[in-house]
């Protein structure tokens, strides 16, 4: 019983029974507890009542679509949300991530790829919680700030300032900036960012990185068409301007 309580719980939200059954089988085989919801309203109810460790959330749902569900869950819970959809349109990806999703995977997907993403997101969430708890419990912690030009990151407060103004970033956006700011002027590939920030060693859509960078720029740059802080090295990756 104690062992069962320590298992991670995954909420599967999809109205296709074959998809749900397949995910339940494979997740339980990997040692996870599973919860199921077949429409948007049921998904919100179960998520808020049971507080799962991660949500696999289809976009096309009865009663309330996945994007609205994602937004509602994110208002109350800080857990990984992976959007699942048969639609591979960029606007869906942007909307899903803007509303608080951590990742996006399209049907048809391989079970192996999905499991790799589930494990990576759970591992990342666990590491982030541990770091956050350690910093909150350490009353003697001094300031831990990275400053590069107009950009300033307070690692203890998870706070970003640009030209002295506090910028509201998601945790994932903060992690991207922190990784790049720790090595100003050094170009980092999308693949490395997926591995270091998202926790994916192989699986993962590099467009997720591009969408996240685009959102960061919208918040920190005066002119997104001519960025001065977060720069693209065409065909390679991204870097923080060292001046």
Please report the domains of the chain, with CATH numbers, ordered by start residue.
2-133 (3.40.50.2300), 142-240 (1.10.10.10)
pLDDT at 143: 61
* pLDDT higher at 104 or 51: 51
* pLDDT higher at 152 or 102: 152
Mean pLDDT of 214-225: 90
Q: Using pLDDT thresholds of 50, 70 and 90, give the confidence band for residue 91.
A: low
pLDDT at 242: 82
Flag whether pLDDT at 239 surpasses 70: yes
Q: Using pLDDT thresholds of 50, 70 and 90, give the confidence band for residue 69.
A: very high
On whether the pTM is more than 0.75, the answer is no
Flag whether pLDDT at 95 surpasses 50: yes
Strand partners, 145: 154
Q: Give 190's contacts (C-beta < 8 A, 6+ positions apart).
A: 206, 209, 210, 237, 238
- Residue 21 per-residue DSSP state: H
**What is the distance of C-alpha 161 from the center of its chain?**
21
Distance (Å, whole) CA 230 – CA 149: 11
Q: Using pLDDT thresholds of 50, 70 and 90, give the confidence band for residue 212.
A: confident
Residue recorded with tokens 């019983």: 1
The three-class DSSP label of residue 56 is strand
Distance (Å, whole) CA 165 – CA 173: 17
Flag whether pLDDT at 139 surpasses 50: no
Contact at 8 Å (CB) between 217 and 211?
A: no
Cis ω before 236 (30° cut-off from 0):
no
Contact at 8 Å (CB) between 37 and 46?
A: yes
Give the highest mean pLDDT range of 144-148, 153-157, 178-182, 211-215.
Answer: 178-182
pLDDT at 204: 62
- Residues above pLDDT 90, as percent of the chain: 42
pLDDT at 141: 52
CA angle 237, 91, 26 (to 5 degrees): 85
């Amino acid at each position: 019983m104690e062992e069962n309580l320590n298992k991670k719980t995954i909420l599967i939200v999809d109205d296709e029974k074959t998809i749900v059954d397949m995910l339940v089988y494979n997740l339980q085989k990997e040692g996870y507890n599973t919860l199921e919801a077949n429409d948007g309203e049921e998904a919100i109810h179960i998520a808020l009542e049971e507080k799962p460790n991660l949500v696999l959330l289809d976009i096309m749902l009865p009663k309330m679509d996945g994007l609205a569900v994602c937004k509602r869950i994110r208002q109350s819970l800080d857990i990984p949300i992976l959007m699942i959809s048969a639609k591979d349109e960029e606007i869906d990806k942007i909307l899903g991530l803007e509303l608080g999703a951590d990742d996006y995977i399209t049907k048809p997907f391989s079970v192996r790829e999905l499991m790799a993403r589930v494990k990576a997101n759970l591992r990342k969430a666990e590491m982030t919680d541990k770091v956050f708890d350690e910093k909150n419990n350490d009353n003697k912690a001094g300031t831990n700030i990275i400053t590069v030009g107009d950009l300033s990151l307070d690692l203890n407060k998870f706070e970003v300032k640009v030209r002295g103004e506090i910028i509201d970033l998601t945790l994932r956006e903060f992690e991207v900036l922190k990784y790049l700011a720790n090595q100003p002027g050094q170009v980092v590939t999308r693949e490395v960012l997926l591995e270091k920030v998202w926790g994916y060693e192989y699986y993962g859509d590099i467009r997720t990185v591009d969408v996240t960078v685009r959102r960061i720029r919208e918040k920190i740059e005066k002119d997104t068409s001519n960025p001065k802080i977060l720069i693209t090295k065409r065909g390679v990756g991204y870097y923080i301007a060292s001046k």
